[in-house]
Chain A
Amino acid sequence: MSNIPAELRYAASHEWTRLEADGTVTVGITDHAQDLLGDVVFVECPEVGREVAAGEECAVVESVKAASDIYAPISGEVVAVNDALADSPELVNSAPYGDAWFFKIKPSDASELDKLMDAAAYGASI
């Protein structure tokens, strides 16, 4: 069974989001997604400062099996990326909700978060 933390919100394309105290939103991929991908060997994150729209392709995960696009779950500016993934892409498999966050977005419209699924809805969708 996949781990689906109750406090996060989820996109249908298997990204998770966490609203931080400073108003930024941290984005990663779910346990279910990493399990489907298999061993992750490279992660390509967006550049800091890039403006992304909800649903836009903005990162790529390469596993031994396949390359998969990662989509921005909400619109805004990328304000940070996780450099640790460059050297340790396997973190995506071992800690999908922890050390393997991908990037942080400063939302342009915080209400977009409400359109994402809660844990129960995401769990039902997979």
Chain B
Amino acid sequence: MALRTPLYDQHLAAGAKMVDFGGWEMPINYGSQLEEHHQVRRAVGMFDVSHMTVVDVTGSEAQAYLQHLLANDVARLKTPGKALYSGMLNEQGGVIDDLIVYLAADGYRVVVNAATREKDLAWMNQQADAYAVTLTERSELAMIAVQGPQALELVKSVVRDDRAALISDLKPFQGLPSGDWFIGRTGYTGEDGLEIMLPAEQSADFWQALVGAGCKPCGLGARDTLRLEAGMNLYGSDMDESISPLAANMAWTIAWEPAERDFIGRQALEAQKAAGDQPKLVGLVLEERAVLRGHQKVIVDGVGEGEITSGTFSPTLGYSIALARVPRATGSSAQVEIRGKRLDVRVVKPSFVRNGQSVIE
């Protein structure tokens, strides 16, 4: 039996095409993925992300626990509600999952991926044994991401005054509670926006209020093209348990200091760093009439070979872009093999669009 979010009926009523996503029945689009993509870049769109897993970490050793569990250092979170992106690694330095952790009044709130929920919770519980912490999965919460240049104003127009005031004060990458809601200025599209966690039984009314204010529902299809344009990793495609964060453009999420902080995977990462032998994740740009796709071979003359980890047609740019794992010595050009033909691609920083504009150098 496939899992359904509290907004399942809203999706059907809006004409969604539903697909299986990690055991969840989720909308892939509501008609046109391209239109939904443009809607978010140009105005505002919303996504049901209730399938993601929210875990509250409380207890006297919550900080020490997360400092051991995560490659990034939660001690960096000093302002209430501030969020941090981190990899959760295994002992070999592979990425078990990527997640966002917020500093909460009585501990931390962690949001992990939907498809990896069970193994994440098992790992987190296993590591928790040595600490005075309590992990509480908040499966009674729904989660709606409202994204786009008009997102904040639109949400403010449909919520009560104190929540609108809270949204006005939220800094990027900060999330704060408001009664039984939690509102974060975060997202996965490269646009300004909010991720709102609220009791499941209130979610359909809130969703309808957003629709009434002109917010268009968008599916997982647009979510993928948006995040890829923004150069954001997708777990399972761009990294997994066999991939080091050093090979997944996540070096910036590893807090090496303080040196005595012993996080899981640290030893392995230090050895990899010293050896300098990890591949790197780059962006590829193909301006010809073809589309880069995951698993296509990347050939770098005189250097070696790599592989596309995520590729798509970029609706904003009008040509194809990709993330690819290639040898560290790769320069500014490469070739990709598509249906037996080798096409020239530009190698760029793995970020393509921010706030509606191209950021390709």
User: Smallest distance from the beta carbon of A68 to chain B beta carbons, Å?
Assistant: 11
User: Smallest distance from the beta carbon of A38 to chain B beta carbons, Å?
Assistant: 6
B289 on the A face (CB < 8 A): yes
Stretch among B26-34, B107-115, B322-330, B347-355 lining the A interface: B26-34
- What string of 1s and 0s marks CB contacts (under 8 Å) between B262-304 and chain A? 0000000000000000000000000001110100000000000
User: Smallest distance from the beta carbon of B340 to chain A beta carbons, Å?
Assistant: 11
B315 on the A face (CB < 8 A): yes
- What string of 1s and 0s marks CB contacts (under 8 Å) between B224-250 and chain A? 010000000000000000000000000
Question: How many contacts A-B (CB < 8 Å)?
Answer: 34
A64 close to B315 (CB less than 8 A): yes
B290 close to A65 (CB less than 8 A): no
**With A and B bound together, what is the CA distance between A125 and B218 in angstroms?**
31
* Interface positions of B from 190 to 230, Cβ below 8 Å from A: 221, 225
User: Smallest distance from the beta carbon of A103 to chain B beta carbons, Å?
Assistant: 17
A39 on the B face (CB < 8 A): yes
User: Smallest distance from the beta carbon of A79 to chain B beta carbons, Å?
Assistant: 23
A41 on the B face (CB < 8 A): yes
Q: What residues of B have a CB within 8 angstroms of the CB of A67 in the complex?
A: 291, 293, 339
For A42, give its contact among B34, B225, B291, B315 (CB under 8 Å). B291
Q: Given A38-B221, A39-B32, A39-B34, is A66 in contact with B289 using a C-beta cutoff of 8 Å? A: no
B312 on the A face (CB < 8 A): yes
Q: Given A38-B221, A41-B313, is A64 in contact with B293 using a C-beta cutoff of 8 Å? A: no
Interface size on B, residues (CB 8 A): 14
Q: Given A39-B33, A39-B34, is A64 in contact with B290 using a C-beta cutoff of 8 Å? A: no
User: Smallest distance from the beta carbon of B178 to chain A beta carbons, Å?
Assistant: 36
A60 close to B29 (CB less than 8 A): no
Closest A residue to B318 by beta carbon equals A41
A41 close to B291 (CB less than 8 A): yes
Query: Which of B32, B221, B291, B312 gathers the greatest number of chain A CB atoms within 10 Å?
Result: B291
**With A and B bound together, what is the CA distance between A119 and B330 in angstroms?**
53
B339 close to A64 (CB less than 8 A): no
* Interface positions of B from 20 to 39, Cβ below 8 Å from A: 29, 32-34
User: Smallest distance from the beta carbon of B343 to chain A beta carbons, Å?
Assistant: 12
A77 on the B face (CB < 8 A): no
Query: Which of B32, B225, B289 gathers the greatest number of chain A CB atoms within 10 Å?
Result: B289
* Interface positions of B from 78 to 134, Cβ below 8 Å from A: none
A44 on the B face (CB < 8 A): yes
Q: What residues of A have a CB within 8 angstroms of the CB of B225 in the complex?
A: 64
Closest B residue to A44 by beta carbon equals B289
* Interface positions of A from 43 to 91, Cβ below 8 Å from B: 44, 60, 62, 64-67, 86
**With A and B bound together, what is the CA distance between A69 and B29 in angstroms?**
23
**With A and B bound together, what is the CA distance between A64 and B293 in angstroms?**
10
Q: What residues of A have a CB within 8 angstroms of the CB of B312 in the complex?
A: 64
Q: Given A38-B221, A41-B313, is A65 in contact with B289 using a C-beta cutoff of 8 Å? A: no
Q: What residues of B have a CB within 8 angstroms of the CB of A41 in the complex?
A: 291, 313
Sampled A-B contacts (14; CB under 8 Å): A39-B32, A41-B313, A42-B289, A42-B290, A42-B313, A62-B290, A62-B291, A64-B34, A64-B221, A64-B225, A64-B312, A64-B315, A67-B293, A93-B32
Binding site for A on B (CB under 8 A): 29, 32-34, 221, 225, 289-291, 293, 312-313, 315, 339
The 5 closest A-B pairs by CB, nearest first: A39-B34, A41-B313, A62-B291, A42-B289, A64-B33
Known: A41-B313, A86-B289. 11 other contacts (CB 8 A): A38-B32, A38-B221, A41-B291, A42-B289, A60-B339, A62-B290, A62-B313, A64-B34, A64-B312, A65-B33, A67-B339
